Structure 1
């Protein structure tokens, strides 16, 4: 363990300063789009989920936090916890930069439980080589370790995996797990040749780490970095996931600034990973990045991701906060790809569910379902076999000026579409998800929060997650059918409101 660059200034003082920064932003926060049923910092910028775990009877979700502004800046670790993943409590900020190896940011990482019952965090210590910014000299990044007895307070142990080559510009985001008697670490690397790879290290004691080699090399020469990698077993397969920097759009695929996805294959310790599927996006929406999975105490594989506001304009930057998580999702293997859908506990947030179906709409008919719905949990099933409308779906966040986000089935594309072209605030554009029409029906579950929409297609075989910033006034939900040769047939439709996830909503 390298303790050469251990604390150079008071960690306690840095944490107190960061808390004050968040409180200052919170005191001025505009809540017009602030989520009530998604995790977000009460003030400041957040990005990647970090250190997801179940420890001493509580779920812990840490996250990248800039506590002094609503744009990306020097990273800290924010923290929330929950007994049930439904009701969350804000915890003190867990880590702030406090020694040389991390002076410009406590970057992303993961958590494991040691054999003696302590919570161990592995994370990336970040500093700029030129002392100012990435510039032409790049980043100096090393993997660090911290230990906690309670999940709240951490003792930093310094660098455990130094950067092995000064020519490496990106070297970060460790994910650690134990297999047998061996601890394994993977993280993302941009090689000196500017190719994206995932490297693997192993350890017997959690401190001394040995380089095994690259476990995955991205085949695309445009992909220069694989951020936030994860590697986990599911059924009889292994999944490697990563957020690909430099991946170019192709048709409907990979339309975002950076894109998070996965490949599935087989792997045994000491053997190469054998890829069996193509790269598949975790989520087809505008705003999904940096997913991290963990195993719950009941054995479920669970995942959070960051709803990333990469594309300007980002209107919530002006509101004292920026960024939120997706809802927590369960991960299952579905043949050659993954199925993800809201954790079963999420239904506990439902309030006053109202049944609207079945419904038949005539050509170009629309119908207001709710006049004002700030949040909603919607279940919708469309009869594709007997419907003849070209588009069938829901206008969400519809305001008096006509702004709305459309979620629909598009018969010309034969895909599910999330379309924001009618919005006054934020980025516009549309995203689509592929659809298997073989059983003649389409099931959608749609989670609507104050500024976001998540669409789960056919029990989570595909998902679209996007920000949607409604204009002022009541937020209507409207059912629509557009054009075509005949009716739109809705087999079932129900909508519930959603309770807040916060234990103390008046202080959040």
Structure 2
């Protein structure tokens, strides 16, 4: 985890539809770049009442992020991890991605681990947590969305209940190349990966600077 990876955030005033559109300061290493650190993806903040009556702050990428998606590279569902196949792995050739999927409890699994670049998050089904991040299930399911940028990975868990940013490899001005995402569950535990969608992303920068 990056120290102070998301802090000093601010919300825009007069944002469309009265949304609380938030951008945080991202304390990421930007070695070899002509700038220092950066910002998080813009997020939509909402308050939701949970089943126990508590009110919780949820954060999710603003809907406009989807306009940067290219054609889907992967669309799969019902990927069962069991005794004969305890690991799902997908190699990705690009650098920028919007990845989303649902982890569903099918048997009596104890854990499931997501790995990508330097990211390693283990979900504890009993505690309903990704490590130190609480991520409650809904009907035995928990969602994950990962936005992959060149310097960082931003992870939104349980429909935005929890958020985490992870530093990627040092940039040093170089192209990072391909990466791999995997989900691993103990043999025989019974975990299903559903609604897996992987979209390569366009850059937000145009080739010509507007004057």
Tell me, in whole angstroms, the C-alpha distance in 1 between the residues paired with 2:208 and 2:127.
Answer: 42
**What's the counterpart of residue 78 of structure 2?**
358
Cα distance 1:387–1:475, how it changes in 2: closer, same or farther (>3 A)?
Answer: farther
Q: Secondary structure at the match of 2:11?
A: strand
Q: Secondary structure at the match of 2:18?
A: coil
Equivalent positions of 1:142-221 (< 5 A) are none
Tell me, in whole angstroms, the C-alpha distance in 2 between the residues paired with 1:257 and 1:473.
Answer: 23
Cα distance 1:360–1:504, how it changes in 2: closer, same or farther (>3 A)?
Answer: same
Tell me, in whole angstroms, the C-alpha distance in 1 between the residues paired with 2:153 and 2:2.
Answer: 17
Q: Which of 58, 78, 81 in structure 2 is aligned with 1:339? A: 58
Pair 1:478 & 2:181 matched: yes
Cα deviation digits, residues 80-107 of structure 1 (max 9, x gap): xxxxxxxxxxxxxxxxxxxxxxxxxxxx
Which structure has the bigger radius of gyration? 1
Q: Secondary structure at the match of 1:322?
A: coil
Cα distance 1:487–1:495, how it changes in 2: closer, same or farther (>3 A)?
Answer: same
**Residue 442 of structure 1, CA deviation:** 0.4
Pair 1:298 & 2:17 matched: yes
**Residue 382 of structure 1, CA deviation:** 1.0
Unmatched runs of 5 consecutive residues or more in structure 2: 50-54
Does the aligned pair in 1 maintain the 2:95–2:149 contact within 8 Å?
yes
Tell me, in whole angstroms, the C-alpha distance in 1 between the residues paired with 2:208 and 2:109.
Answer: 43
Unmatched runs of 5 consecutive residues or more in structure 1: 1-254, 259-286, 398-403, 418-431
Tell me, in whole angstroms, the C-alpha distance in 2 between the residues paired with 1:317 and 1:487.
Answer: 42
Tell me, in whole angstroms, the C-alpha distance in 2 between the residues paired with 1:470 and 1:292.
Answer: 27
Tell me, in whole angstroms, the C-alpha distance in 2 between the residues paired with 1:328 and 1:338.
Answer: 15
Tell me, in whole angstroms, the C-alpha distance in 2 between the residues paired with 1:256 and 1:378.
Answer: 21
Cα distance 1:435–1:475, how it changes in 2: closer, same or farther (>3 A)?
Answer: same
**Residue 304 of structure 1, CA deviation:** 0.5
Q: Which of 39, 43, 59 in structure 2 is aligned with 1:325? A: 39
Q: Secondary structure at the match of 1:469?
A: coil
Tell me, in whole angstroms, the C-alpha distance in 1 between the residues paired with 2:194 and 2:148.
Answer: 21
Tell me, in whole angstroms, the C-alpha distance in 1 between the residues paired with 2:2 and 2:201.
Answer: 29
Equivalent positions of 1:371-390 (< 5 A) are 371-384=92-105, 386-390=106-110
Does the aligned pair in 2 maintain the 1:368–1:476 contact within 8 Å?
no
**What's the counterpart of residue 40 of structure 1?**
none
Does the aligned pair in 1 maintain the 2:2–2:27 contact within 8 Å?
no
**Residue 332 of structure 1, CA deviation:** 1.3
Equivalent positions of 1:403-442 (< 5 A) are 404-411=118-125, 413-417=127-131, 432-442=132-142
Q: Report the TM-score, using the length of structure 1 for normalisation.
A: 0.36
Tell me, in whole angstroms, the C-alpha distance in 1 between the residues paired with 2:107 and 2:177.
Answer: 31
Q: Alignment length, in residue pairs?
A: 199
Greater relative contact order (CA < 8 Å, ≥ 6 in sequence):
2
**What's the counterpart of residue 7 of structure 2?**
289
Cα distance 1:476–1:351, how it changes in 2: closer, same or farther (>3 A)?
Answer: same
Runs of 4+ residues deviating >4 angstroms: 255-258, 470-473
**Residue 393 of structure 1, CA deviation:** 4.3
Tell me, in whole angstroms, the C-alpha distance in 2 between the residues paired with 1:458 and 1:484.
Answer: 24
Does the aligned pair in 1 maintain the 2:2–2:167 contact within 8 Å?
no
Cα deviation digits, residues 263-308 of structure 1 (max 9, x gap): xxxxxxxxxxxxxxxxxxxxxxxx1110101230431111110112
**Residue 437 of structure 1, CA deviation:** 2.7
Does the aligned pair in 2 maintain the 1:481–1:488 contact within 8 Å?
no
Cα deviation digits, residues 449-481 of structure 1 (max 9, x gap): 112111112221221122222698643223222
Tell me, in whole angstroms, the C-alpha distance in 1 between the residues paired with 2:70 and 2:43.
Answer: 20
How large is the Cα RMSD of the aligned pairs? Answer: 2.8
**What's the counterpart of residue 195 of structure 2?**
492
Cα distance 1:393–1:373, how it changes in 2: closer, same or farther (>3 A)?
Answer: farther
Q: Secondary structure at the match of 1:348?
A: helix
Q: Report the TM-score, using the length of structure 2 for normalisation.
A: 0.80
Q: Which of 372, 376, 392 in structure 1 is aligned with 2:112? A: 392
